[in-house]
A and B are shown apart, each in its own frame.
Chain A
């Protein structure tokens, strides 16, 4: 059992591997984050979740998303003037980078950014920057989907996320998890006919057409991957979810459990 105080309130935990952020949030203490996601490992890139940790005579500023709660008696402050200043500066940086993004604008004004003191990132006329480089897309692809179809490229101010060599990613299964976790809407997915296009990755995915109703519904190349990963019956992936349900209802009791095949009605 470890006992600490957060903003003066005493909190006890016996959970091993719990981080300060998790503990604070579970106690209803809000700490802003941009690069944290509960399904992913802590990354520590946005630095919004910084808190002040005091143990003995020393106070240090750490990112709470990754800081393990294991020292008994430490006292944590989550909203001191210093921390507010840091968060405000970070949002000023992000606002200068992505001035058009509503989410960034809202967060910036919420964290006290009143005037624009920094010049906006210079880009070619017809372009706007939408990515804050939180890395959620890269990490969800690697850690959850297990694919690593996209990655960070270049470094420093040139850093961006891309598919290998900026062209069609061979590893992309078209799952669009990256689009789902993106906090700024920078990852755009368009569908037309049996094609799905994920714009920042220059990646085009062919969708499977339902054998029964003829609509396009799921990425073709994810079929095999999911089948192997989840052990799904091959026929199952040839039908769209609606038709699948329909078949399931109609074939109730006709499912062959040994071969795990549904006897399809032609």
Chain B
């Protein structure tokens, strides 16, 4: 690869790449993000390579291994152009049909099309699938169009043109002003205005400054940062280079979880390529701006996603938060002025520079601009990563993009913002999603987790689950988080065992208040959110556990019983075989009996029964 010594040279090189692209040539893009790879995408790729070669047509067809397309549940995904046809759950065996039918004869392979769970209709084009239709894929959209390990693909889609624009004619102040005007807010959760952060770092005294990319994504079920780093690492990198130029940083760090090997690999490859091309390192694009980036791999502690703990961890010490009365922008990494932003925040920067602050600030709500990527999971039909404009309602997100609740069951709540977010009830489904609105109802945007729950979910159990996560991940430094959280968890365990008392609810609220007000960092301050919101919106469930010793969702083992309906039981013996403790007895073709003494409430019997004879009460 040639080293570019000026923005003009980069543009020339881009033109030469674009000239070499035959847009009429059929192409196959196989998603090889972590999700699709786990469901067999790599085998699909090798089947394509093998069969195209066998058929002697590999030169006529482009095969691309791309990053995550977001619709992981339907993976492995294969996108074919022309036509933008999307095939779902593709296996090795399907590849021959795809080549013969679609690529060579331009016919659709019906069985691989997406079936709308609501209408039962088969949908051919990616953009017509409801999951994609309502999305606004500004940051995430290019993931499916490029090979993340090939910088030429990124360049062909306009990559590094924002950097070239900045170096060609924007001063650092102008860049900061543009980001301020765009009203971009931090996508890591807190929503701090990015432009203001950059400005304070720029104004802070010091000859050495740093920028950091926080890729320590730790929320259970969240993987948007990983997917961006895997699928479009250069976008994040370009954002960081522009940010460093704006604040005058000479060194950058990306702190990424070691559990994200593909993200580490693809980002490291991007760094190498950018260095070779003169987009990173000394005298970037021939200018006098020099900047470099190091990859730091995190050991997997959730609390290291907290900015001060992350900085301490990069410094080589135990990743524990410290008080932040002096902002990192003034005194951060090694006490030098530091800008720390989330992966998605950095990724938004090139877009804003290219398309302008005005364009960006027109998307979203009054207070929250742009788009947000959510990890939509739980009891919805379509799960995956969705990028939507800020301000979209929860209802649209869950029922239109998400395709509604699994198996037609009833919606109960949605938990947003990761383990420290709150549970939002049905009555608030029309709530527009933005930083302020979610905070008002006791939840948060957070890093974009979104877990949908239906009537089979026990809200006390949910609160217990999330609190046990934050307790497990608490660093233990400050008393309210370490001890308070532990006591709250014990109380919730008591309630789910049927040993709760009514005064426990007051105690839960009191401890929550102390944790929120007095904890050292956001982990402790936010950890009570799931408890407080479930107490607020689902008090009757708590009372049912405490007073009636009942768990209406049938989840809390100490409070439920499995029953065999003698009318419905055919004596088939399936439950008897599935029971791990031998609690079920009965002759063949005679009604089976469940001995409650021996039952461990695993639910196997209910799962295997074909006659709906087992119920839970």
- Interface residues of A, Cβ cutoff 8 Å to B: 42, 44-47, 50, 61-63, 66-68, 82, 85-86, 89-90, 93-94, 96-97, 117-119, 132-133, 135, 151-152, 154-159
Q: Return the contact of B479 from the options A61, A90, A154 (Cβ within 8 A).
A: A90
Judged by a CB distance under 8 angstroms, whether B443 is at the interface is no
Count the A-B residue pairs with Cβ separation under 8 angstroms: how many? 101
Judged by a CB distance under 8 angstroms, whether B295 is at the interface is no
Assembled-state Cα–Cα distance A132/B482 (Å) = 11
> Which of chain B's residues have a CB closer than 8 A to the CB of A97?
483
> Which of chain B's residues have a CB closer than 8 A to the CB of A94?
479, 483
Q: Are A157 and B482 in contact (CB under 8 A)?
A: yes
Judged by a CB distance under 8 angstroms, whether B186 is at the interface is no
A67, closest chain B residue (CB): B325
Q: Are B517 and A159 in contact (CB under 8 A)?
A: no
> Which of chain B's residues have a CB closer than 8 A to the CB of A86?
480, 514, 517-518
Proximity string of chain B (283-325) to chain A, C-beta cutoff 8 Å, 1 when within and 0 when not: 0000000000000000001010000000000000010101101
Assembled-state Cα–Cα distance A66/B520 (Å) = 11
CB distance from A157 to the nearest CB of B (A): 5
> Which of chain A's residues have a CB closer than 8 A to the CB of B487?
93, 96, 118-119
Q: Which 3 A-B pairs have the closest CB atoms?
A: A159-B476, A93-B483, A89-B514
Judged by a CB distance under 8 angstroms, whether B375 is at the interface is no
> Which of chain A's residues have a CB closer than 8 A to the CB of B323?
42, 44, 62-63, 66-67
B513, closest chain A residue (CB): A85
CB distance from B54 to the nearest CB of A (A): 55
Judged by a CB distance under 8 angstroms, whether B519 is at the interface is yes
Q: Return the contact of B482 from the options A68, A135, A159 (Cβ within 8 A).
A: A159
Q: Are B325 and A45 in contact (CB under 8 A)?
A: no
Q: Are A68 and B326 in contact (CB under 8 A)?
A: yes
> Which of chain B's residues have a CB closer than 8 A to the CB of A119?
487, 490
Between A46, A90, A157, the greatest number of chain B beta carbons within 10 A of the residue's beta carbon is seen for: A157
Q: Are A93 and B484 in contact (CB under 8 A)?
A: yes
- Interface residues of B, Cβ cutoff 8 Å to A: 301, 303, 318, 320, 322-323, 325-326, 471-480, 482-487, 490, 507, 510-511, 513-514, 517-520
Report if A89-B322 is in contact (Cβ < 8 Å); known contacts: A47-B478, A133-B482, A159-B476: no
List 25 A-B residue pairs with CB atoms under 8 Å apart, sorted by A's residue number.
A44-B322, A45-B479, A47-B478, A47-B519, A47-B520, A50-B518, A62-B325, A63-B323, A63-B520, A66-B325, A67-B323, A82-B517, A85-B513, A86-B480, A89-B511, A90-B518, A93-B479, A96-B483, A118-B487, A151-B318, A155-B303, A157-B486, A158-B476, A159-B475, A159-B477
B503, closest chain A residue (CB): A117
> Which of chain A's residues have a CB closer than 8 A to the CB of B511?
89
B507, closest chain A residue (CB): A117
Q: Are A90 and B514 in contact (CB under 8 A)?
A: yes
Q: Are A61 and B476 in contact (CB under 8 A)?
A: no
Q: Are A68 and B480 in contact (CB under 8 A)?
A: no
Report if A47-B477 is in contact (Cβ < 8 Å); known contacts: A157-B482, A157-B486: no
Assembled-state Cα–Cα distance A94/B482 (Å) = 11
> Which of chain B's residues have a CB closer than 8 A to the CB of A154?
476
A89, closest chain B residue (CB): B514
Q: Are B479 and A155 in contact (CB under 8 A)?
A: no
Q: Return the contact of A156 from the options B326, B476, B507, B517 (Cβ within 8 A).
A: B476
B511, closest chain A residue (CB): A89
CB distance from A113 to the nearest CB of B (A): 13
> Which of chain A's residues have a CB closer than 8 A to the CB of B473?
155-156
Assembled-state Cα–Cα distance A219/B326 (Å) = 41
A82, closest chain B residue (CB): B517
Report if A152-B486 is in contact (Cβ < 8 Å); known contacts: A47-B518, A47-B519: no
Q: Are A61 and B484 in contact (CB under 8 A)?
A: no
Report if A133-B476 is in contact (Cβ < 8 Å); known contacts: A42-B323, A45-B520: yes
CB distance from A77 to the nearest CB of B (A): 13
> Which of chain B's residues have a CB closer than 8 A to the CB of A61?
517-518
Report if A44-B476 is in contact (Cβ < 8 Å); known contacts: A68-B325, A96-B483, A96-B487: no
Assembled-state Cα–Cα distance A85/B479 (Å) = 14
Between A47, A86, A96, the greatest number of chain B beta carbons within 10 A of the residue's beta carbon is seen for: A47
Q: Are B476 and A155 in contact (CB under 8 A)?
A: yes
> Which of chain A's residues have a CB closer than 8 A to the CB of B519?
47
B302, closest chain A residue (CB): A155
Assembled-state Cα–Cα distance A47/B323 (Å) = 11
Assembled-state Cα–Cα distance A85/B318 (Å) = 31
Assembled-state Cα–Cα distance A93/B325 (Å) = 26
Q: Are A89 and B476 in contact (CB under 8 A)?
A: no
> Which of chain A's residues have a CB closer than 8 A to the CB of B471?
156-157
Q: Are B483 and A156 in contact (CB under 8 A)?
A: no
> Which of chain A's residues have a CB closer than 8 A to the CB of B517?
50, 61, 82, 86
Report if A89-B510 is in contact (Cβ < 8 Å); known contacts: A45-B520, A61-B518: yes
CB distance from B451 to the nearest CB of A (A): 23
Assembled-state Cα–Cα distance A90/B515 (Å) = 10
> Which of chain B's residues have a CB closer than 8 A to the CB of A89?
480, 484, 510-511, 514
B516, closest chain A residue (CB): A61
Assembled-state Cα–Cα distance A118/B511 (Å) = 11
> Which of chain A's residues have a CB closer than 8 A to the CB of B482?
133, 156-157, 159
CB distance from B318 to the nearest CB of A (A): 7
Between B507, B510, B514, the greatest number of chain A beta carbons within 10 A of the residue's beta carbon is seen for: B514
> Which of chain A's residues have a CB closer than 8 A to the CB of B320?
152
> Which of chain B's residues have a CB closer than 8 A to the CB of A155?
301, 303, 473-476
> Which of chain A's residues have a CB closer than 8 A to the CB of B303?
155
Assembled-state Cα–Cα distance A151/B485 (Å) = 23
CB distance from A111 to the nearest CB of B (A): 13
CB distance from B525 to the nearest CB of A (A): 10
Assembled-state Cα–Cα distance A154/B474 (Å) = 10
> Which of chain A's residues have a CB closer than 8 A to the CB of B483?
90, 93-94, 96-97, 157
Assembled-state Cα–Cα distance A66/B482 (Å) = 20
> Which of chain A's residues have a CB closer than 8 A to the CB of B520?
44-45, 47, 63
Report if A46-B479 is in contact (Cβ < 8 Å); known contacts: A85-B514, A89-B510, A156-B474: yes
Between A42, A82, A89, the greatest number of chain B beta carbons within 10 A of the residue's beta carbon is seen for: A89
CB distance from A196 to the nearest CB of B (A): 28
Between A90, A118, A151, A155, the greatest number of chain B beta carbons within 10 A of the residue's beta carbon is seen for: A155
Assembled-state Cα–Cα distance A44/B322 (Å) = 8
B326, closest chain A residue (CB): A68
CB distance from B238 to the nearest CB of A (A): 36
Q: Are B479 and A47 in contact (CB under 8 A)?
A: yes
> Which of chain B's residues have a CB closer than 8 A to the CB of A42?
323
CB distance from B512 to the nearest CB of A (A): 10
Q: Given A50-B518, A89-B510, A155-B303, list of 13 further CB < 8 A pairs?
A: A61-B518, A90-B483, A93-B483, A93-B484, A96-B483, A118-B487, A119-B490, A133-B479, A152-B318, A152-B320, A154-B476, A156-B474, A157-B474
> Which of chain B's residues have a CB closer than 8 A to the CB of A90?
479-480, 483, 514, 518
Assembled-state Cα–Cα distance A245/B490 (Å) = 59
Assembled-state Cα–Cα distance A96/B487 (Å) = 9
> Which of chain B's residues have a CB closer than 8 A to the CB of A117?
507
> Which of chain A's residues have a CB closer than 8 A to the CB of B472?
156
Assembled-state Cα–Cα distance A120/B325 (Å) = 34
> Which of chain B's residues have a CB closer than 8 A to the CB of A151?
318
CB distance from A108 to the nearest CB of B (A): 13
Assembled-state Cα–Cα distance A156/B513 (Å) = 19
B319, closest chain A residue (CB): A155
B301, closest chain A residue (CB): A155
B477, closest chain A residue (CB): A45
CB distance from A94 to the nearest CB of B (A): 7
CB distance from B314 to the nearest CB of A (A): 18
Assembled-state Cα–Cα distance A184/B549 (Å) = 42
Assembled-state Cα–Cα distance A50/B480 (Å) = 12
Assembled-state Cα–Cα distance A118/B520 (Å) = 22
> Which of chain A's residues have a CB closer than 8 A to the CB of B474?
155-157
Assembled-state Cα–Cα distance A157/B474 (Å) = 8
Assembled-state Cα–Cα distance A89/B516 (Å) = 12
CB distance from A162 to the nearest CB of B (A): 13
